[in-house]
Amino acid sequence: MRWSHLPGVAIAALALLVAGCGSDEGAPAGGGGAGLDTIEEGKLKVAVQSYAPYTTVRGNRIEGLDGDILHAVADRLGLEIQPQLTDFNGMLGGVQSRRVDITVGGVAWSEERQKEGLFTDPPYYSPPAMGVQSGKSYSTVDDLKGLRLGTVTGYVWVDSIKAIPDAKLGAYPNANGVFDDLGSGRLDAGFLDPLLIINQQKARPDQKIETQYLEPPTDAQVSERPEYEFFRPYMTAFYLPKQAAKLEAAISKEIRAMYESGELAKLIEKYGGDPEQFLTAAPWMAAMRQGVDRPADWVPPSL
């Protein structure tokens, strides 16, 4: 699937503008990405899937929300991006085996994944979105009991769906399968990242898919069924190998600077998102990472 974006020249100009706004303080000593734990000095090997409007590869450029953020950061750090197209499982595996320096695009932080790699601070947060058949409405997790629910193999919602009483899981190799079965009525709802559903709804009105947001489960519900955690807004992050601690720290520093400058808010709006929804940390998020892969006093970035 493809959606229209700004022309490559315009996106490149935006990336240069963003890079020009950064201070020298964020650049590595010596320039050219020196000392940043990359596989090849000055290069940033990126595993990425076709997942518009988050990531789309055109030539040597990654377009989309995550692509724009990463290019802005890489420019500031003096790194040349080298994208490698794969699927979601290949993205995770490429990082964990250190065949690449980083992966971006729809990667949710989880305690299990952080055991095998490093996560940056969240460049944005993702509210729980569903694609549903037109005319149907589901508000809470209880509304999903016994329904046919789909997502992509390897996504965090797989375990969440399995935890819903009597729900039937449809796991697909990519989002296309989810949308096809939603459109044909073989699924009642599909869990994917919100900008993806919004764009599909606009691009394929014939499928009669609507975007709905799930009311986050309560603390009591999550306590009873921990898998429900990812029916709440979740932390996205860029994912790196365990050997890339300096690179992770440098990227996280630039992400925080983009919150403060307002650059992230502009990029969220560019792709149809609401900055308040995407850039405001939920109250419980800090505790998820404190003492796990962040210090005990860590606070997630937020507007």
- DSSP single-letter state for residue 166: T
Please state the φ and ψ torsions of residue 24, each to the nearest 5 degrees. Answer: -65, -20
Would you state the pLDDT for residue 32?
A: 66
Would you state the pLDDT for residue 302?
A: 96
Give the pair of three-digit tokens for residue 8.
Answer: 């490559």
- Buried/exposed 254-286: b ≥16 CB within 10 Å, e otherwise: bbbbbbeeebbbebbeebebebebbbbbbeebb
Residue ranges in the chain modelled with pLDDT below 70:
1-32
Segment 29-77, tens digit of pLDDT: 334 677 999 999 999 999 999 988 999 999 999 999 999 999 999 999 9
Q: Which amino acid is at 208?
A: K
Would you state the pLDDT for residue 127?
A: 86
Would you state the pLDDT for residue 197?
A: 92
Would you state the pLDDT for residue 17?
A: 34
| Whole-model pTM over 0.85 | no
The residues facing 62 across adjacent strands are: 57
